[in-house]
Structure 1
Amino acid sequence: MEDLSTASAAEIASAVSTKSVSARSVVASTLERIARIDGRVNSFTDVLSDRALARADAVDAARQRGQAIGPLAGVPFAVKNLFDVAGLPTRAGAKINRDRVPAERDATLIARLEAAGAILVGALNMGEFAYDFTGENIHDGPTRNPHDLEHMSGGSSGGSGGAVAAGLVPLTLGSDTNGSIRVPSAFCGCFGLKPTYGRLSRAGSFPFVGSLDHLGPIARSVTDLALAYDAMQGPDPADPVETDRGIEAVRPTLDAGIGDLRVGVAGGYFARGGDAEAFAAVQHLGHALGCDRTVDIPEAARARAAAYLITAAEGATLHLDRLRSRAEDFDPAVRDRLIAGAMIPAPYLERAQRFRRHYRTAVLDLFRDVDVILAPSTPCRAPRLGQKTFVLDGVELPVRANIGVFTQPISFIGLPVAAVPVWLDDGLPLGVQIIGAPWREDVVLRIARYLEKEGHVRAPVAAFA
């Protein structure tokens, strides 16, 4: 394996397990590529060279002793810098958080990936306090789209998408409150998984909106998503979200094909208010899956509005003390939205939460007739860096607030989504959401894997000189 930039996590783990390559050589090559390329992409905020090499040596030593080294043995990965990493202050993209005491231990999901043999190599750039869809950070600079460095990576997990697309690591972790895994996956041409709300532990991560936050992986293959997902599952007493989580191994059934799975394409709200290419990408995958039915997700516009209210109000509550004492240290775009959220009347929030229960019941009823629903991830391809407005359906709108127009109504009720990249031409990629019923990550990943095997979706490494 000479070109690690194109190797998947599964390929690396196989090579390390069979002694075709050492974990140290994999990590050393990864660190060299990060040093050589990331100055142009700006995906990393912290590179943990000493830790990663020591961990690689431990994997190699265990392999030499004949011990089990895990399904992700030697696989380099990196995490959005809202995950606790032992020895680092947890930034969450903010200037204020640089003053925090360094974390004493790793976040649960980091520990679980390393227990499976993976090797943490660093922390990644993100939008401040995760309140962002662009991938632009006022303190650390923007993460650039590896497929066109003048364009956005998407946010708030911009570093997570950028690092995978640039071939710096095959696997990253991000968070998704209103679309922050699915948007970078679309803009950067990666695969992403937003699991069911509460499926993966959030212990050891900096929150944004407790009732909407999800954590999950971004990768260049569906198999890698499944490997990471399987490794990270399980109950966690430290997790603030209490759910009855079983262990669901999806990797063994990933290549089972689509069989008689029923697919619907979202119409109505999800078929307007975006560029024609965004809807063409959905139709392309619908055709590839033999889909002939349209599904109307009821009251999606109202769901997005309610998600906006809850996001603004809960986010503001979390940051009130910081807003009072250090307002000048916020990104002004984030600060102003949080201040506005602090002024939302309580009855509005109560009404949004009541509607949320109604909306969840109505959407779940759709899964009586279909197993998955296809919808655009974003209304357009990645805008240019610094772009403030775009035109959607003949209306000029703010970019930052409207990139999540199609993702917010889905995460609002915590549904699992596999985000897949579609390349319709030689331009930038587009993204499609494969949306499933709660706890059916196995189904959305099976569909994604089928589309990948048939060549309809792919996640190439960006070309760098």
Structure 2
Amino acid sequence: MSKDFSWDSAAEIAQAVASGQASAAAVVDDALARIGKLNPQLNAFTAVTADRARAKAKAIDASPDKKALPLAGVPFAVKNLFDVSGLPTVAGSKINRTHPAATQDQPLIARLEAAGAVLVGALNMGEYAYDFTGENVHDGPSRNPHDLTRMTGGSSGGSGSAVGGGLVQIALGSDTNGSIRVPSSLCGIFGLKPTYGRLTRARSFPFVASLDHLGPFARSARDLALAYDVMQGPDAEDPVCAQRAAEPTLPLLERGLDGLRIATAGGYFRKGASPEALEALDRIAKAAGARAEIEIPEAARARAAAYVITTVEGAALHIGRLRKQGNDFDPAVRDRFIAGAMVPGTLVVQAQKFRRWYREQVLKLFERYDAILVPATPCTAPKLGQVNFTLDGVDMPVRANMGLYTQPISFIGLPVATVPVPLSPLPIGVQVIAAPWREDVALRIAHALERMGAATAPRPNL
């Protein structure tokens, strides 16, 4: 009987493959079998690259240098807006399915594979990344591994489902307004939205160029750092990632919380939050030794400005498709883009001016604190098809408001690690926000919280 590698960490798998205790072929076959068994329930994958994965695993097993591969044999998958050689980059849409297949992999895929990781497929997502639910009208909804009747969150819903369900150790997603952090929270896993410009976005389908980030999901903070580190580095194909040198975080994890000044944000970030969100935040704040509760100024206005920029830039990108193939869009996505096309230019100018002011105010907080803790989502995973949820006694649309606490942060490009808190019956996440380019701080805190048992990725009953 073959070993079940599903719940081994990426670090454990890489060590076993490098030492010869396990073969990459066996690890990949186990992952493909689990995908075959569970994907019909989870609907996380839209394409499985089995032949490619087996060929890669065979090459790793034959390599004399596999001991030098930090991710030797580790299965991973990517949101289907990443270019994958041989597949069309569908970005969750119907329209893109007729596009030619990509001829090159997105650079982060290439960097992971150079470190020994093995791509096993492409993952479900909200259409054109304009989604917080994980419900795709063309491919069906990705399903939450902790309750198949509930949402994964979006737009990287397949990524959250695949990692949370044990189908892969690592997945990649994108985050414009919260699309890594929301699925991480609802699916009970770790996620990292790096600083804007840290990881290359070249050869991925864009949503809002001035807000788009790419980043990893994993079931442990160490695996998150391991994947993140091998993906770092400049890339001339992405102008905002052209110069920044790699800054390894993995060696810094063991420093723990010593010397770190940590605060929680109140005001906007507590108002309306569910009891579960507040319980998780308070539990993490206590474990982290948070010193104070502060207020992030004008967070509500920051979210409003983020919405203006999102809808206008998104509409500008898709205006040609809206004119020619409007009926092929998810109606909810189409209508939001059409609304964006009608936003007056004066509002966009005001939003960008405010953005600069807001960034200056938030950066002043990091003169006093190294990290700020806030909820990742206002509640645990809603039911599939649920239209509204209640915040502070007011019914709010799910699709628009699951990013209530994430949008004011990605709006100015700060690095964030989402940590899972295993409440019963459903997990929920907390954001660990650091200063620009200080992913090491966010990951150190995430790792320390995991070692304490305060942040843990629970296993689902699948």
Tell me the TM-score range normalised by the shorter chain: over 0.9
Residue 343 of structure 2: SS of its match in structure 1? coil
Letter in 2 for 1:54: A
CA contact (8 A) 2:422 2:457 kept: no
Residue 150 of structure 2: SS of its match in structure 1? strand
Partner of 1:432: 430
Residue 77 of structure 1: SS of its match in structure 2? strand
Separation in structure 2 between the aligned mates of residue 341 and residue 184 of structure 1, nearest angstrom: 25
User: Between Structure 1 and Structure 2, how many residues are aligned?
Assistant: 461
Separation in structure 1 between the aligned mates of residue 307 and residue 373 of structure 2, nearest angstrom: 23
- Which runs of no fewer than 5 residues in structure 2 stay unpaired? none
Partner of 2:55: 54
Separation in structure 1 between the aligned mates of residue 315 and residue 123 of structure 2, nearest angstrom: 24
Residue 431 of structure 1: SS of its match in structure 2? strand
Partner of 2:326: 327
Normalization by structure 1: what TM-score?
0.98
Partner of 1:19: 20
Partner of 2:39: 38
Letter in 2 for 1:57: K
Separation in structure 1 between the aligned mates of residue 183 and residue 311 of structure 2, nearest angstrom: 21
Q: Residues 5-62 of structure 1, C-alpha deviation per residue, up to 9 Å, x if partnerless? A: 1111111001000100000010011101100111000000000000000000010110
Partner of 1:448: 446
How far has the Cα of 1:289 moved from its partner? 1.6
Partner of 1:251: 250
Residue 178 of structure 1: SS of its match in structure 2? coil
Normalization by structure 2: what TM-score?
0.99
Separation in structure 2 between the aligned mates of residue 243 and residue 33 of structure 1, nearest angstrom: 38
Q: Residues 296-333 of structure 1, C-alpha deviation per residue, up to 9 Å, x if partnerless? A: 10000000000000000000000000000000000000
Letter in 2 for 1:117: G
Partner of 2:110: 111
Residue 358 of structure 2: SS of its match in structure 1? helix
How far has the Cα of 1:238 moved from its partner? 1.0
Letter in 2 for 1:36: K
Residue 114 of structure 1: SS of its match in structure 2? helix
Separation in structure 2 between the aligned mates of residue 271 and residue 191 of structure 1, nearest angstrom: 22
Residue 5 of structure 1: SS of its match in structure 2? coil
Partner of 2:399: 400
Separation in structure 2 between the aligned mates of residue 170 and residue 235 of structure 1, nearest angstrom: 25
CA contact (8 A) 1:13 1:73 kept: yes
How far has the Cα of 1:2 moved from its partner? 2.3
Residue 6 of structure 1: SS of its match in structure 2? coil
Q: Residues 402-427 of structure 1, C-alpha deviation per residue, up to 9 Å, x if partnerless? A: 11000000000000000000123x21
CA contact (8 A) 2:4 2:30 kept: no
Letter in 1 for 2:131: D
Letter in 2 for 1:438: P
Report the CA distance shift for 1:243/1:394 in structure 2 as closer, same or farther (over 3 A).
Answer: farther
1:1-400 equivalences under 5 Å are 2-62=3-63, 65-66=64-65, 68-400=67-399
How far has the Cα of 1:242 moved from its partner? 4.3
How far has the Cα of 1:244 moved from its partner? 3.2
CA contact (8 A) 1:203 1:240 kept: no
Separation in structure 1 between the aligned mates of residue 401 and residue 119 of structure 2, nearest angstrom: 33
Separation in structure 1 between the aligned mates of residue 75 and residue 254 of structure 2, nearest angstrom: 25
Residue 374 of structure 1: SS of its match in structure 2? strand
Letter in 2 for 1:427: P
CA contact (8 A) 1:44 1:122 kept: yes
Report the CA distance shift for 1:23/1:450 in structure 2 as closer, same or farther (over 3 A).
Answer: same
How far has the Cα of 1:291 moved from its partner? 1.6
CA contact (8 A) 1:79 1:172 kept: yes
How far has the Cα of 1:67 moved from its partner? 5.5
